[in-house]
């Protein structure tokens, strides 16, 4: 169940340093999460570290497709 960043992302960079897996990087238009790297922060934190720091709440946990 990776985190997905929607197109409202303002590229503020706040979430990037929070990720223990280096799963967040700039994409073509906005930041994106590498679904192969995102572990929901399992083993590091009780819940995703990135979601609470996003100022516009454009990050969400989605079920595996």
Provide the CA 49 distance to its chain's centre, in angstroms. Answer: 8
DSSP 15: S
Using CB under 6 A as the binding rule, whether residue 13 contacts ligand SF4 is answered as yes
Q: CB of 7: closest distance to ligand SF4 in angstroms?
A: 10
Supply angle C-alpha 19, 24, 26, rounded to 5. Answer: 145
Q: How far apart are CA 55 and CA 63, in angstroms?
A: 23
Chain positions 17 to 46 lying near ligand SF4, rule: CB under 6 A, are 18-19, 21, 23-24, 31, 33, 38-41
Residues that bind ligand SF4 (CB under 6 A): 3, 5, 9-15, 18-19, 21, 23-24, 31, 33, 38-41, 48-50, 53-54, 56, 58-59
């Amino acid at each position: 169940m990776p985190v997905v960043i929607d197109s409202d992302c303002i590229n503020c960079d706040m979430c990037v340093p929070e990720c223990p897996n280096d799963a967040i990087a700039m994409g073509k238009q906005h930041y994106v999460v590498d679904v192969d790297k995102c572990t929901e922060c399992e083993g590091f934190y009780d819940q995703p570290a990135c979601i609470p720091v996003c100022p516009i709440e454009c990050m969400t946990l989605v079920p595996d497709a």
